[in-house]
Amino acid sequence: MKAMVVRAPGGLDRLELRELADPGQPGPGQIRVAVHATSLNFHDLLVANGSIPADDGRVLMSDAAGVVEAVGADVTEFQVGDSVVSCFFPQWLDGLPFHDVGHFRRTPGDGVDGFATEVAVRPATDFTKAPRGWSHAEAATLTTAGLTAWRALVVDGGLKAGSTVLVLGTGGVSIAALQIAKAMGARVILTSSSDEKLARARALGADEVINYRSEPAWGQRVLELTGGVGVDHVVEIGGPGTLAQSIQAVRVGGHIALIGVLTGRQGEVPTSVLMAKQARLQGLIVGSRRDQQDYVAALEQGDIRPVIDRSFPLEQLAQAFRFQESAGHFGKLVVEW
C-alpha cells in the first residue's frame, strides 16, 4: 500500500511516497479502514517541516476519513461499509483531559503513524462514525479543526443563542467556529487581513468583519461594535501576538479559548487586564472521542458543511503544505485518494 512519510530530521523536501506492507486483517477490537481523505492542520505542518521531531519514516497526518473494510472480534459499534473519521487523541474517550493527553505520543502522524496511507488497522475506539451523507473530504475536516471549534464554543464555552463571538482568521478552525456560532444563533465578529476573505466570511454569515491590518487596534473596534461591553467568547488562534487584543475585546466574565500559536509560542500577557475582566482564558487541544460523537450528532441535525478551499492528491502532499504555509486558503485544505 502507498503511504506518505517524512524522513528525519524533517522538511517538506523530505516527504516521500513509499510502498509499505499491508497491515492485514483486524484483530480483536480492531477495524480495518480504507482511508480516502485527510485534511491539513498546523500541527501536521510542524511535524512535516521538522519543527516537531518525528521518527524517521513516520507516516504523516492526524485526520482520516474512510470506509470500514473489516471488523475484528468483539467489535459491535461498526459494520463493514460504515464511513468513519479518526480521533486525534485515541486514548481520550470521554470526560476531562488527563495526563496522557498532555503529550502527543499516541496522536496519529506524530507519536505514532498517521493516516496518509491507503489502509489503516487500528482499535475501533480510534474512530467515530462520520456524519451521514458527507463526502470523505468533508468528513476529514472534523477530527482536528471542526472538533476544536466545537469544543471551544460548545463543550467549554457553553455557547448560547444571542451570545457574541469573536473569531480570528479564516482558516479551518475559524470558519468552523463561524458556522457553529451562526447555527446556534450567535452574533459573530470576524477578523482577517484580507478584504476578499472578509467578504467571503460575510457571505457565510459573519455579522461584522474587521481588517486587522487597516485597524491594528481591533480589540478597541470590537468594543465599539458591542457598545463597550465586549464579546462573550473569543476563538483565539494567534497566541502571544494577538492575545492582548483578544483580552481587550472580551467582556467582563467572558471566555477566551486559546487554541493556536500562529504568532509564536511565548510572549507577554496583560495579566492585570485579564484579572480586571475576570475572564476565563482556557487553552485547549482538540477534544475527546465523546466530544466528537456529540459534534457529529449535532452536524447531522443541521445543514452545516465544511468549507474546503481546494483538494490535492496524496503524492502532492508537500505542495499542499507549501500552499498552507502561504496562508492563501479560506477554510480547509484536503488531500484525497
The 10s digit of each residue's pLDDT in 44-71 is 999 999 999 999 999 999 999 999 999 9
Cα–Cα distance, 12 to 218 (Å, whole number): 35
pLDDT at 268: 80
Q: Tell me the three cell numbers of residue 219.
A: 480589540
Query: Looking at the predicted structure, is the pLDDT value of residue 261 above 80?
Result: no
Cα–Cα distance, 249 to 219 (Å, whole number): 5
Q: Give mean pLDDT, residues 13-37.
A: 98
Cα–Cα distance, 166 to 186 (Å, whole number): 10
pLDDT at 245: 97
Closest C-alpha to 225, from 248, 256, 258: 248
Residue ranges of domains in the chain, CATH in brackets: 2-145+287-336 (3.90.180.10), 157-283 (3.40.50.720)
Q: Are 104 and 301 in contact (CB under 8 A)?
A: no
Cα–Cα distance, 244 to 139 (Å, whole number): 34
pLDDT at 337: 98
Q: Indicate the pLDDT class of residue 263, thresholds 50, 70 and 90.
A: low
**Rg of the chain's alpha carbons, rounded to an integer?**
20
Query: DSSP of 270-323, one letter per residue?
Result: -HHHHHHHT-EEEE--S--HHHHHHHHHHHHHS-----EEEEEEGGGHHHHHHH
Cα–Cα distance, 144 to 42 (Å, whole number): 10
Cα–Cα distance, 66 to 245 (Å, whole number): 40
The 10s digit of each residue's pLDDT in 67-120 is 999 999 999 999 999 999 999 999 999 999 999 898 899 999 999 999 999 999
pLDDT at 266: 77
Q: What is the pTM of this model?
A: 0.96
Alpha helices in the chain (DSSP H): 42-48, 136-139, 147-150, 172-183, 195-203, 218-225, 243-249, 271-277, 289-301, 317-325
Identity of the residue numbered 208: E
Closest C-alpha to 33, from 74, 87, 104: 87
pLDDT at 141: 98
Query: Looking at the predicted structure, is the pLDDT value of residue 322 above 80?
Result: yes
What integer best gives the mean pLDDT of the chain?
96
